[in-house]
Amino acid sequence: MATKKFLVDIHTHVYLPRYASLLRSRSSVPKIISLNNQERLVILPNESTAGRPVGPQYWDRDEKLKFMDRHGIDVSIVSTANPWLDFLTPTEAQKIALELNDDLEQYCSTSPVITGPENSKALKRMYGFGLLPLVPEITTRSLLDAVKQISESPHLKGLIMGTRGLGKGLDDEALDPVWDAIEAAELVVFLHPHYGVDSSAWGERDNGHVLPLALGFPFETTTVATRLILSGVFDRFPRLRLLLAHSGGALPQLSSRLASCIDHDPVVASRLKHDARFYLGKLFLDAVAYGSEELGFVSDVLARARHYEKGARYGSSTTPRSAGSDRMLFGTDHPFFPPLNSTEKWRSVVENLEAIDKVQGWSSVDKDAVRGGNALSLFNLDMK
């Protein structure tokens, strides 16, 4: 009997009803406002005061399931969308993190079961990434309690994290006990941007959300992942599993330049066990890049990483692409990037699926793995 190939969406967001109510109760950003009987979401720094329309697709699980069915998505690993709990006090963040993790566990555990091949493990349609109350002045104890709660929630397989940490970024050594607990619990960390970069770089012309989303988001991810590499987090926690949004931003393109800059700085170089390019092979990247050439390039860079042990100066250009595709995973970014006209399928989703399909040098096995197989193994959902 042919084994069914699963399509698994690992980059798909929700504002759970409790979180949406919190946003409705606020008068400053982030907030949900009502304008002419239409709810609007205002979350991005420098976003116009009118934000953009929001509706049930942001919080209603049935809408997510309809979207999944329309696009042939079997399983979704759902995460709270930005800006998570970043704007709350430690007391507020701690309380709502635990509540939202329980809400998400409930959202996933009561989702429909999916039929797999004979004798397979039954899967739910939804699994989730929980939240930590990562805000300045939170206690390490509160963070560890949330890691424990997530690891004990059967349908939560990891956690989503922004880039601010406790206010000093993710290369802050105060986070070491948290990385340690996450690594021990074998949870996947989904690193996701929100703030972009200094908006003065965008000039004065009104380009809507284009520059912050197309460039600012991925540049933020590039910076945070680079700082993590430079801080030695991957040397101290070698089994940590980090999944970067938007195919790792510009990091794959800049990784050899980064390695060269480190080489010319003996102080920084002495802190690291390996060439910078080695650490890219420790990362998992979503395949939300919208183009097959970009996906092929990124998988080449990931494949090359394994040749960069300490002391190795040149990666092999003969490494097959498929060796990098095993760390790349399909995602949609739903409910963001909806079609401008009502169409059967969302262009943003179709483009990402077509991009996977057309990568030169990926076999059909590699493509199936990026569409779902890699996610099933990363999140221990393999049907056995």
Please report how close the Cβ of residue 275 comes to ligand 5CU at its closest, in angstroms: 31
Residue 220 interacts with ligand 5CU (CB under 6 A): yes or no: no
Please report how close the Cβ of residue 83 comes to ligand 5CU at its closest, in angstroms: 8
Strands 38-42 and 31-35, by their bridges, are antiparallel
Q: Which is nearer to ligand 5CU, 43 or 381 (CB)?
A: 43
Please report how close the Cβ of residue 119 comes to ligand 5CU at its closest, in angstroms: 37
Please report how close the Cβ of residue 303 comes to ligand 5CU at its closest, in angstroms: 27
What residues from 234 to 273 belong to the interface with ligand 5CU (CB under 6 A)?
Answer: none
Q: Which is nearer to ligand 5CU, 193 or 372 (CB)?
A: 193
Q: What is the dihedral of CA 150, 372, 284, 86, to 10 degrees?
A: -40
For residue 161, the Cα-to-chain-centroid distance in whole angstroms is 8
Take residue 266 and report the two structure tokens written for it. Answer: 């003996």
Q: Which is nearer to ligand 5CU, 83 or 324 (CB)?
A: 83
Q: Which is nearer to ligand 5CU, 13 or 155 (CB)?
A: 13
Closest-approach residue to ligand 5CU (CB): 336
Residue 20 interacts with ligand 5CU (CB under 6 A): yes or no: no
Q: Which is nearer to ligand 5CU, 140 or 337 (CB)?
A: 337
Please report how close the Cβ of residue 11 comes to ligand 5CU at its closest, in angstroms: 8
Q: How far apart are CA 126 and CA 153, in angstroms?
A: 13
Residue 82 interacts with ligand 5CU (CB under 6 A): yes or no: yes
Q: How far apart are the first and last CA of the chain?
A: 14
The residue from 213, 215, 250, 269 that contacts ligand 5CU (CB under 6 A) is 213
Q: Which is nearer to ligand 5CU, 212 or 373 (CB)?
A: 212
Three-class SS string for the chain?
Answer: CCCCCCCEEEEEEECCHHHHHHHHCCCCCCEEEEECCEEEEECCCCCCCCCEECCHHHCCHHHHHHHHHHCCCCEEEEEECCCCCCCCCHHHHHHHHHHHHHHHHHHHHCCCEECCCCCCCCEECEEEEEECCCCCCCCHHHHHHHHHHHHCCCCEEEEEECCCECCCECCCHHHHHHHHHHHHHCCEEEECCCCCCCHHHHCCCCCCCHHHHHHHHHHHHHHHHHHHHHHCHHHHCCCCEEEECHHHCCHHHHHHHHHHHHHCCHHHHHHCCCCHHHHHCCEEEECCCCCHHHHHHHHHHHHHHCCCCCCCCCCCCCCCCHHHHCCEECCCCECCCCCCCCCCCCHHHHHHHHHHHCCCCCCHHHHHHHHHHHHHHHCCCCCC
Please report how close the Cβ of residue 306 comes to ligand 5CU at its closest, in angstroms: 30
Please report how close the Cβ of residue 115 comes to ligand 5CU at its closest, in angstroms: 30
Please report how close the Cβ of residue 334 comes to ligand 5CU at its closest, in angstroms: 9
Binding mask 27-66 for ligand 5CU (x = CB under 6 A): ----------------xx----------------------
Rg (CA), the chain: 20
> How many residues of this chain bind ligand 5CU (CB under 6 A)?
9
Residue 81 interacts with ligand 5CU (CB under 6 A): yes or no: yes
Block residue for tokens 């002419």? 36
Residue 230 interacts with ligand 5CU (CB under 6 A): yes or no: no
Q: Which is nearer to ligand 5CU, 48 or 139 (CB)?
A: 48
What residues from 329 to 368 belong to the interface with ligand 5CU (CB under 6 A)?
Answer: 333, 336
Please report how close the Cβ of residue 81 comes to ligand 5CU at its closest, in angstroms: 6
Residue 286 interacts with ligand 5CU (CB under 6 A): yes or no: no
Binding site for ligand 5CU (CB under 6 A): 13, 43-44, 81-82, 209, 213, 333, 336
